[in-house]
């Protein structure tokens, strides 16, 4: 059974982040930087989860697959928390609404995962 092309979700999240940053760059540089950071706080932990969760394949690897999912989800949570903590502690000036808004928009890309992962058109 082939592995699903989950990397497409990460690419879509990166594209949405880039579009947000470019759109906000015309408005305000601080907003654009904050949006970039918010997008990365969502994108990088998701990339970690994808890497961990889909590291193994095959029915004989079921236990390793489940363990990888748990480790990937725990790592995603920790990376997200640390990302927000580091940004709020160190980045000045910061536009919190742009940061959180970009995070939410990039996270919303996950709602479209079934469409993004849809197999080839026959």
Q: Is 6 left (phi over 0), alpha (psi -120 to 50) or beta?
A: alpha
Q: Tell me the percentage of the chain whose pLDDT exceeds 90.
A: 63
First vs last Cα of the chain: how many Å apart? 18
Using the predicted structure, report yes or no on whether residue 1 has a pLDDT greater than 60: no
* Nearest-5° Cα angle at 37, 28 to 104: 95
**Domain parsing of the chain, residue ranges:** 8-113
The model's pTM: 0.85
73 phi/psi in degrees, rounded to 5: -70, -40
pLDDT of residue 74: 94
Decide if 42 contacts 103 (C-beta within 8 A).
Answer: yes
Which tokens belong to 71?
Answer: 């480790």
Here the tokens at position 35 are 């949006």
Q: What is the pLDDT of residues 14-52, one digit of tens each?
A: 999 999 999 999 999 999 999 999 999 999 999 999 888
Give the Cα-Cα-Cα angle 57, 121, 3 (nearest 5 degrees).
Answer: 5
């Amino acid at each position: 059974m082939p592995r699903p092309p989950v990397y497409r979700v990460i690419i879509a999240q990166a594209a949405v982040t880039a579009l947000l940053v470019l759109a906000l760059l015309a408005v305000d540089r601080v907003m654009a930087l904050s949006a970039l950071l918010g997008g990365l706080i969502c994108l990088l932990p998701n990339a970690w989860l994808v890497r961990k969760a889909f590291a193994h394949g095959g029915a004989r690897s079921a236990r390793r697959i489940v363990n990888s999912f748990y480790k990937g989800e725990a790592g995603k949570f920790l990376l997200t928390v640390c990302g927000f903590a580091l940004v709020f502690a160190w980045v000045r000036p910061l536009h919190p609404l742009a940061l959180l808004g970009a995070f939410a928009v990039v996270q919303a890309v996950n709602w479209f995962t079934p469409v993004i992962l849809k197999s080839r058109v026959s």
